[in-house]
């Protein structure tokens, strides 16, 4: 079952210093922000740099704490949402540089206790078009290759909730087509931040401007 998301009266502030010796000032990123996303909806989150797109995803996956407010995923506080039901692509830094692409997927399959992992891994490799470089170390990958592997890693366990931060940033047209195909067939709830809304806006349920 894909989950719904309910955010109520979210407030998040940061302390910002102009220089090392300057007195910090407080910047408000979200003030009494509320949002409801229906189960199974695909939502594009757009807006200028610094508006809070990535921070919102980090809050939803409990990587960033809020100052106040309530965030529920299917009625469960986001801090308690099972990690195995979440797919997260905050950036390609979640990949292990010293391992091959296959080993990265193998490790993820172990973490999520996927039965018959080799079959699932091979199907994922085929979908995302990784076959030609999957046995190479990630340290040798281009940005586009890393992006595809990151997408493969976070979708490997078929999570009902998927948070994708700028997934199209380094993808070529073939990679974007693969992402579109995945989204069109997915029954999960998906939140996607992007600076390129035109590549995906025709296949999502909603575009949210921050």
Percent of the chain with pLDDT over 70: 97
Question: What's the angle, vertex CA 164, arms to CA 162 and CA 169, rounded to 5?
Answer: 155
**pTM (predicted TM-score):** 0.92
pLDDT 10s digits, 165-196? 999 999 999 999 999 999 999 999 999 999 88
User: Within 10 A of 135 (CB to CB), how many other CB atoms are there?
Assistant: 11
pLDDT 10s digits, 143-173? 999 999 999 999 999 999 999 999 999 999 9
Q: Is 18's pLDDT higher than 80?
A: no
pLDDT the model gives residue 14: 87
Domain 5-16+28-209: homologous superfamily in CATH: P-loop containing nucleotide triphosphate hydrolases (3.40.50.300)
Find the mean pLDDT for residues 107-125: 95
Give the integer Cα–Cα distance in Å for 186 and 205.
13
The residue count for the chain:
210
């Amino acid at each position: 079952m894909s989950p719904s998301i309910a955010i109520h009266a979210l407030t998040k502030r940061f302390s910002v210093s102009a220089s090392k010796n300057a007195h910090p000032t407080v910047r408000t990123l979200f003030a009494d922000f509320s949002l409801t996303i229906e189960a199974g909806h695909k939502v594009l989150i757009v807006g200028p740099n610094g508006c809070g797109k990535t921070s919102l995803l980090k809050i939803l996956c409990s990587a960033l704490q809020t100052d106040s407010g309530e965030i529920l995923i299917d009625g469960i506080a986001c801090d308690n949402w099972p990690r195995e039901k979440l797919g997260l692509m905050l950036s390609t830094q979640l990949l292990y540089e010293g391992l091959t692409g296959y080993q990265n997927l193998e490790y993820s399959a172990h973490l999520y206790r996927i039965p018959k992992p080799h079959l699932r891994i091979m199907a994922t490799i085929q979908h995302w078009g990784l076959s030609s470089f999957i046995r190479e170390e990630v340290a040798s990958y281009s940005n586009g290759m890393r992006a595809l592997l990151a997408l493969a890693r976070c979708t490997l366990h078929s999570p009902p909730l998927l948070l994708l931060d700028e997934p199209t940033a380094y993808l070529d047209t073939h990679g974007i087509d693969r992402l579109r195909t995945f989204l069109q067939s997915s029954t999960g709830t998906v939140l996607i931040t992007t600076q390129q809304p035109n590549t995906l806006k025709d296949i999502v349920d909603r575009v949210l401007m921050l």
